[in-house]
Amino acid sequence: MKQKKYLLPESEIPTAWYNIQADMVNKPLPPLNPGTGQPLKAEDMYPIFCEECARQELNQTDRFIPIPEPVLEKYVYYRSTPLVRAYGLEKALDTPAHIFFKNESVSPVGSHKLNSALAQAYYAKEEGTTNITTETGAGQWGAALSYAAKAFGLEAAVYMVKISYEQKPYRRSIMQTFGANVTASPSMSTRAGKDIITASPNHQGSLGTAISEAVELARMTPDCKYVLGSVLNHVCIHQSIIGLEAEKQMEMADEYPDIVIGCFGGGSNFCGIAMPFLRHNILDGKKTRFIAAEPASCPKLTKGVYLYDFGDEAGYTPLLPMYTLGHSFRPANIHAGGLRYHGAGAIVSQLMKDKLMEAVDIEQLDSFKAGLLFARSEGIIPAPESCHAIAATIEEALKCKECGEQKTILFNLSGHGLVDMTAYDQYLAGDLTNFEVDEATVARNLAESKLDPSKAL
């Protein structure tokens, strides 16, 4: 029997996260205070964020950060996740490439997001907080956070991007079943929400808007901390568990990836799978390629500019160094709600600038075409976000076929699509379209966001 699935024994599950900041030659740039223009210290973030998360955010020295025992206990419940050799997809493509995927969809909430949700909820609890609040796009992060909050005895309030709230009622309901309070964003419950609705009564929401609302709630509520599911460095650190496991599992399969691929929204699952391997490019001279697959309708890495910008629409957050389309960018209503964010995190942005990784943009129709082929050849229906990674993988596997090269490709299956079936319905019915973003649109958005592309970092 050909081996298809690789699992780690419990004793082999990593007990520390990997922090690539320690190994980067050019460190990620610091967040800035928008008023003073000065770099933030961890203390400056304590009013909003868990203190340990704030410290991890700026930690450029510790290569490994121990996973707290109670978090590890929850990890072990669903980890290790399987590394799978995609024989079915290889056969369907008739490619000499060896395709592997890390199956993060087996977590109880169906995606990788739980890896950081558990960590952040644990720190919040440890630091004496009773409430946490966050935003969510497609609902993958919100579902994970709701689960994690319940697991550690916290109350959770989630602002869900309005278009996803409507498109994905099941994810809203999952959060409520875990006991969370879910509000469609923009809402009238915050100043930021009211301002946005007043200016644009039909605003369908964006991650940037929902972040503004959640941050405002955290600011205004005693014993309430804000948590974020992507973009920030500490989230990327927590997600490194994906790649650390994959590294050991690839060894079990006696292979090493020539290419590592993740879909890209703010960077959480991409960093999770990629960073532990990227360190071997930095430290050990490996030549693996790292590809972030972003939607063509939200192309910050392929068409954005590297600038200091706000992380949210209302401008509540510090200024973050990011490849950005401008914080006022309103992404089209693609089904991959988790990828509808205007900017890339600090780590990824620096790695992009230093050409240590690449990005490709994927059209919505191509993403679902890839997802359908994957479902029918591998038996797992992928989340619309993950479909982007699959599309990029297929592209590379077909190049291998053309050249007759037997490369090893590893991608991250960030989540399953069982709660996104409306999207597949519409795709099968021919009701979906592509959304282009051209250079002129980007330029106009940057200007609207008061950003000057000539000041690129």
Buried b (16+ CB within 10 A) or exposed e, 238-252: bbbbbbbbbbbbbee
Instruction: CB nearer to a second copy: give 73 or 438.
Output: 73
Instruction: CB nearer to a second copy: give 12 or 405.
Output: 12
3-state secondary structure of 95: coil
**In the complex, what is the shortest distance from the CB of residue 423 to a second copy, in angstroms, rounded to a whole number?**
9
**In the complex, what is the shortest distance from the CB of residue 199 to a second copy, in angstroms, rounded to a whole number?**
32
Instruction: CB nearer to a second copy: give 7 or 22.
Output: 7
**In the complex, what is the shortest distance from the CB of residue 246 to a second copy, in angstroms, rounded to a whole number?**
18
**In the complex, what is the shortest distance from the CB of residue 411 to a second copy, in angstroms, rounded to a whole number?**
17
First to last CA, the chain: 53
Instruction: CB nearer to a second copy: give 352 or 381.
Output: 381
**In the complex, what is the shortest distance from the CB of residue 81 to a second copy, in angstroms, rounded to a whole number?**
11
Quick one: which of 266, 263, 297, 279 has its CA closest to 436?
297
Determine the Cα–Cα distance for residues 175 and 136; give it in Å rounded to an integer: 11
Instruction: CB nearer to a second copy: give 426 or 434.
Output: 426
Instruction: CB nearer to a second copy: give 1 or 25.
Output: 1
Determine the Cα–Cα distance for residues 275 and 385; give it in Å rounded to an integer: 19
Helix segments in 296-450, DSSP class H:
300-303, 346-353, 364-378, 384-403, 421-428, 439-448
**In the complex, what is the shortest distance from the CB of residue 243 to a second copy, in angstroms, rounded to a whole number?**
22
3-state secondary structure of 102: strand
Quick one: which of 389, 418, 370 has its CA closest to 168?
418
Quick one: which of 1, 2, 24, 15 has its CA closest to 274?
24
Residues that bind a second copy (CB under 8 A): 1-5, 7, 10, 69, 72-73, 76-77, 84, 106, 108-110, 147, 150-151, 169-170, 173-174, 176-179, 372, 375-376, 379-381, 416, 418-419, 421-422, 424-425, 428
Residue 298 and residue 342 in contact, taking contact as beta carbons nearer than 8 Å: yes
Instruction: CB nearer to a second copy: give 3 or 202.
Output: 3
Determine the Cα–Cα distance for residues 103 and 84; give it in Å rounded to an integer: 7
- For 201, residues 6+ apart whose C-beta sits below 8 A from its C-beta are none
**In the complex, what is the shortest distance from the CB of residue 343 to a second copy, in angstroms, rounded to a whole number?**
30
**In the complex, what is the shortest distance from the CB of residue 167 to a second copy, in angstroms, rounded to a whole number?**
13
Determine the Cα–Cα distance for residues 69 and 88; give it in Å rounded to an integer: 38
Determine the Cα–Cα distance for residues 143 and 105; give it in Å rounded to an integer: 13
Instruction: CB nearer to a second copy: give 43 or 77.
Output: 77
